Amino acid sequence: MTIKREVSSMFFAGLTVFLLGIFCFQSSLCTAQQKGPVAAEYGVVLNLSGKQRMLTQKMSKEIMLVVLGVDAQNNLKNLKKTSALFDKTLKGLRDGDKELRLPPTISKRIRKQLDKIKVLWDDFNRVIKDILNNKKVTKEQVDIIAANNLPLLKQMNRCVKLYEKDASTAGLKADPGLAVTINLAGKQRMLTQKMSKEFLLTAYGHDVENNKLNLLETYTLFERTLKGLLDGDETLDLPGTKNEKIREQLAVVQKLWAVFKPLVTFAVDPKTGEIPRDKVEALAASNLPLLKEMNKAVGMYEKEAGENSN
């Protein structure tokens, strides 16, 4: 009996230690999660949530290139990759993704916003899947994408603003201006694709007057923000950039913008009727280099956020 009691006591003692260990581990994990991302992680979150805005416009642009018959096969492949990346990142923002270096979102308010985006995305993605399956775009699908891409963009932008606010009051509180800078630098990527989409909708003949007005507003904002990133803009809450390497990268973007701008100004000109094929092809060739170099600048800002946390 004594031996049984000793064995029983040892078993329960061991079980108690084991359960306490689990409890302590879970408590420390919960505490770590409640603290939310550190500054370096906020850089990644702001970058990739901001990139989602761009992807909404890139998908729309790729659909327009397909319907206009510009390198249709490659643009269908691009559309498949872009939509898959948007879907993966959306899930990663909510629940975390090691490959994307995304921590899970703890904020209930932001998680609710991500769930709202998921509903819009499911409807949007259904059209994309039909296009990919049929390898063509119908006029009805253009109408749906033209109507639904901006609501998806708008809700994604709200999400980025929530992340920016979170970052400014927590992970990047030592430099809140950097959170705004990462947001607006990231937004520039979106504007390259939004301009391209609006140009192509105009070329296609869809709601021409409104798309011309939208294009004028978009390229004006892109140009102003680019100047603000370099030298500051009080209205946009941009402090300007002192980092010489980032300034050099923004100068690369400026050179590409000088090539791209004449295409969009031609499209918005009231005297312009139809947009000729050569200009459509020129825009198709030049928008991605502009996006790529702007994306490099965002990556440099993200790195700066990580260095500020050390």
Domain segments of the chain as ranges: 39-308
Q: How confident is the model at residue 7 (pLDDT cuts 50, 70, 90)?
A: very low
The answer on pLDDT for 14 being more than 60 is: no
Name the one residue in this structure whose structure tokens are 């430099």: 175
Alpha-carbon dihedral 31, 36, 38, 40, rounded to 10 degrees: 140
The pLDDT value recorded for residue 305 is 78
The pLDDT value recorded for residue 165 is 85
Identify the residue with better confidence: 240 or 305: 240
The answer on pLDDT for 84 being more than 70 is: yes
The average confidence (pLDDT) of the chain is 88
Identify the residue with better confidence: 6 or 179: 179
Low-confidence winner among 80-89, 179-188, 230-239, 279-288 (lowest mean pLDDT): 179-188
The pLDDT value recorded for residue 218 is 98
